[in-house]
Chain A
Amino acid sequence: MANVISFLTRTRGIGKLHWTDWLTYGYLFLGVLLMFLPVIWLGLSSFKTEAELERFPPRIIPMQQETIIVEGYDEPLPLYEIVSGEFEGETLAQIRRVGLVAQMIRPDNPDERLKVDINDRQAIEKFALATENYSELFDRFNFFKFFWNSVFITSVATMIMLTVNSMAAFALSKYQFTGRMVVLGLVIGTLMIPQTVVLVPLFLITKELNMADSLWGVIIPGAATPTGVFLLRQYMLTIPDEILDAARMDKASEWKIFWRIIVPLSAPAIAVLAILAIMWRWNDFLWPLIVLSSNDNFTLQLALNSFQGEMNTQWSNLLAMTMLVLLPIACVFVFLQKYIATGIASTGGK
């Protein structure tokens, strides 16, 4: 503890914190609150029962009313403590409520029905996580299907993109051939045309290729990103040509050179691109929204969005699902934060 305090109160110079240091840490503290609290609040809320979620003002910690199983009743009965009136100090279970009067019983004596004014009783509550919010997603909402669609699209699209992009980057960085500048120009040109402005024709091409409303329609059109080619090419340019010449002396085929030499040597850049690609695909929303129309093909993002639009969706399930969509990315972030940061900073895209 003393270590923690001395760590936290250490300053850059000797002596007291300068007022600008106070300002700095105040700003950072506010930043942490503003960035983290919303997500923590989402996490806490996702473990609350629907009744608890409707409570106003809300409580921080998820609580549930204690219940008891009494002979002769199918459902567990909610427990109340009686704070005033005839039965003060007793713990009673409620059968039903009629207007301002509650019909209650003593759990050890289920036959005698007592009438209690509802203002005299107070619910007994305990800390409890409503894990059914999550389990219901799997039973009632076909969550696995959406999850599988997202995983399939993300992994296949990433693999195709890495292969195709690294092959092109290899050609553009290690060969001299006529038309090289033209191809490079085309790549830069496509950088200028984001997907958002060619939505209409892109969709029609996808439809003509019979890929509308199929997972492949999401995977294939996004595979040839100019960003990926660029990133990999810049990296491959730094690999010395002598290595390639040495391999050619040993009669290695060009494919072997690519696969056995270039790809392993550019592993860092490929890893960065892989992380970016996974993130792009996992979070992708607009293009799947246009291509996929049947419920069975929805990705997690689409399912989440369509759930929130449905009138009969309960916040409890919606919040739980939001958490499950958020978690994989959060895990990736915790472990690969540094790579993601450098990757995004060096491509200027996300």
Chain B
Amino acid sequence: MLAILTPLMRVIEIPMTFLEKRLGMKNPAWLFLLPNLLLFGIFALLPVALNLAYAVTGSDAILLADRPYVGGDNFSALLQCDSYLDPNSCKDDLFWRAVHNTLLFVVLQVGLMVTFSLCTALILNRDIRARGFFRAVFFFPVLLSPVVVALIWKWILQREGILNAWIDGMGWQTFNWLLDRNWAFGWSVFLSIWAHMGFYTLILLAGLQAIPRDVYEAAKMDRATPWRAFRRITLPLLMPTMLVVLVLATIKGVQTFEEVYAFTGGGPGTATTMIIQYIYETGFAGAPRLFGPASAASLLLAAVLVVLTVVQLWLNRNNVDG
């Protein structure tokens, strides 16, 4: 690995030593920081500032100078709604449809996924044979790319796929899963759980293994039943890890796009269109490219994410201290 980097390092060495000598710096920290900060500045901090600028300007022009200031129009257009419970009553109904879909998706996906991850972690934490193998089995879909995951399940669920063949073999009526709004949504949730469960299982397993064994031995001495030990020891001691997992899963869930987009394309209709897909289609895929609404929508999303991340960092800190 390092061997590959060697020529690159040689190249950087020349200007670095030159600058170091030339500037006579005792403390060349900024020299080392410079490339990273440059990239950060241009591709992470500047976009945040620009996002604000684009959100308050209109038209489909790219250059900021060509875009007229429209104030909060983009936001009010997004937020204008007779009833937030009914996307059809909104001015931008696709946005609210996407918000509804994403919320439902997050609730279902996070809830089910954390439950299954917890079960799996508890089972993997038992005294079982070949634990490494089983852990790897549950973990490996995490590495698959979203497009691959989507295609694997599309192939299984297609009209003449293996699932329908099995249903047919049982004598039941076959079904075109991805053309039905509810089923397409349900399968999207399933596929997303399938792909990401291993990651959370791993974190929960680490949390479980951090619980000292002697606590359980003490409980055994006191003749506590396994169920009681689970409720009184495992659950409370695992709580911090559980919270981290919940928040992390929610942060990722809100940003769901790739696998669902490759799986259903957001359809049928708008049944599986998520917020990120709305941003992508409004800002990039459609013509004209509406950068204003897309930026406004991503700012609203960012607000949610910042709150969630602050909660996450705060939870992590508690973890470290305690």
Name the B residues within 8 Å of A196 (CB-CB): 255, 257, 276, 279, 298, 301
Chain B residues with Cβ under 8 A from A8's Cβ? 129
Kindly identify which residue among A200, A201, A274, A289 contacts B1, using a CB–CB cutoff of 8 Å: A274
Q: Which of B84-92, B96-104, B132-140, B216-224 contacts A (4 or more CB under 8 A)?
A: B132-140
- List B1-22 residues whose CB lies under 8 Å from chain A: 1-2, 4-5, 8-9, 12-13, 16-17, 20-21
Q: Residues 325-339 of chain A: 1 if any B CB is under 8 Å from the residue's CB, otherwise 0? A: 110011011000100
Distance to closest chain B CB from A290 (angstroms): 5
Interface residues as binary, B183-212 with A (CB distance below 8 Å gives 1, 0 otherwise): 000000000001000010011001000000
Pick the contact of A56: B134, B154, B160 (CB < 8 A): B160
| A322→B54 contact, CB < 8 A | no
Judged by a CB distance under 8 angstroms, whether B142 is at the interface is: yes
Note all chain B residues with C-beta closer than 8 A to A79: none
Interface size class of A (residues with CB under 8 A): 35 or more
Write out the residue numbers on chain B whose beta carbons fall within 8 Å of the beta carbon of A333: 136, 140, 143
Per the bound structure, the CA–CA distance linking A319 and B148 in Å amounts to 9
A41/B156 in contact, CB under 8 A: yes
Contact B202 A341 (CB under 8 A): yes
**Pairwise interchain contact A163-B284, C-beta atoms closer than 8 A:** no
Q: How far is the CA of A240 from the CA of B121 in the complex (A)?
A: 36
Known: A171-B32, A196-B255, A204-B62. A12 touches B127 (CB 8 A): yes
Given known A202-B47, A333-B143, contact A305–B155 (CB-CB < 8 A): no
A264 within 8 A of B: yes
Which residues on A are within 8 Å of B, measured CB to CB? 7-8, 10, 12, 24-25, 27-28, 31-32, 34-36, 38-39, 41-42, 45, 54, 56-58, 159, 162-165, 167-168, 170-172, 175-177, 180, 183, 186-194, 196-205, 207, 209, 220-224, 226, 229, 253-255, 258-259, 263-264, 267, 270-271, 274, 279, 282-283, 285-286, 289-290, 301, 304-305, 308-309, 315, 318-319, 322, 325-326, 329-330, 332-333, 337, 340-341, 344-345, 348, 350
8 smallest beta-carbon distances between A and B, as pairs: A224-B39, A201-B50, A168-B36, A57-B165, A283-B145, A198-B47, A175-B29, A171-B32
